Amino acid sequence: MGIVGRVGWRLVVRDRSSVRPRRMHQARRTFDLPVDHGGSVSRLGLAKGSLRLPTEVGSVPVGRQWLRDVLGRECGAGHPVIDDALQALSEILTNAVLHGTGPQVRVAYTLVGEWAEVAVHNRVRPGEVQPRRRKPAPPSAESGRGLDLVEAFSDQWGITVLPEDEIKVWFRVRLA
């Protein structure tokens, strides 16, 4: 388990002594970023990152906590959309670890303007390209409502088929 990638067009500096001046200068030069002690967003307003987790049920609460921390830092800890995003993530991440193949899944987020997009990437069996929506589950059923819940808790959602038997299930929530 580990954090992968980098924060896209954003550099957060919590303590000036913890950042070498050369790196700060390099970030400004490479990305033309306005950088200060509190962190800044580029003129594009883009932030992104991802987390790789083992394909096991115990990864779901880890992914939820990671997204809670990210959205809390980026949008404010009490932002009303965080709970909806966490519920939708729980559903797609649970599907990925229960039905996916491969040793890892990847949770990713991108914040652009007033939208947050969260995605889970996982491998699937050859020929099985996407999750299937089942018939409506009876009230007594304990499963079968995951994608319906994703639809209810997000503004947009979808499934993207990627090369090499990989899929990306994503959702977007409006931050504004």
What is the total count of domains within the chain? 1
pLDDT in tens, 44-83: 567 889 999 999 999 999 999 999 999 999 888 889 999 9
Q: Is residue 164 part of a domain?
A: yes
Q: Is residue 65 part of a domain?
A: yes
Q: Is residue 27 part of a domain?
A: no
Q: Is residue 20 part of a domain?
A: no
pLDDT in tens, 115-163: 999 999 999 888 765 666 566 666 665 666 788 889 999 999 999 988 8
Buried b (16+ CB within 10 A) or exposed e, 107-134: bbbbbbeeebbbbbbbbbeeeeeebeee
CATH number of domain containing 81: 3.30.565.10
- What's the CA gap between 47 and 112, in Å, rounded? 7
Neighbouring residues of 117: CB distance < 8 A, sequence distance ≥ 6: 109, 110, 111, 170, 171, 172
Q: Is residue 25 part of a domain?
A: no
Per the structure, the complete domain to which residue 127 belongs is given by 2-13+33-174
pLDDT in tens, 90-116: 999 999 999 889 899 999 999 988 899
Q: Largest alpha-carbon pair distance within the chain?
A: 60
Token duo for residue 167: 């899929």
Q: Say how many C-beta atoms besides its own lie within 10 A of residue 146's C-beta.
A: 21
Q: Is residue 41 part of a domain?
A: yes
Please indicate, yes or no, whether the overall pTM of this predicted structure exceeds 0.85.
no
82-99 and 146-153 helices, crossing angle to 10°: 160
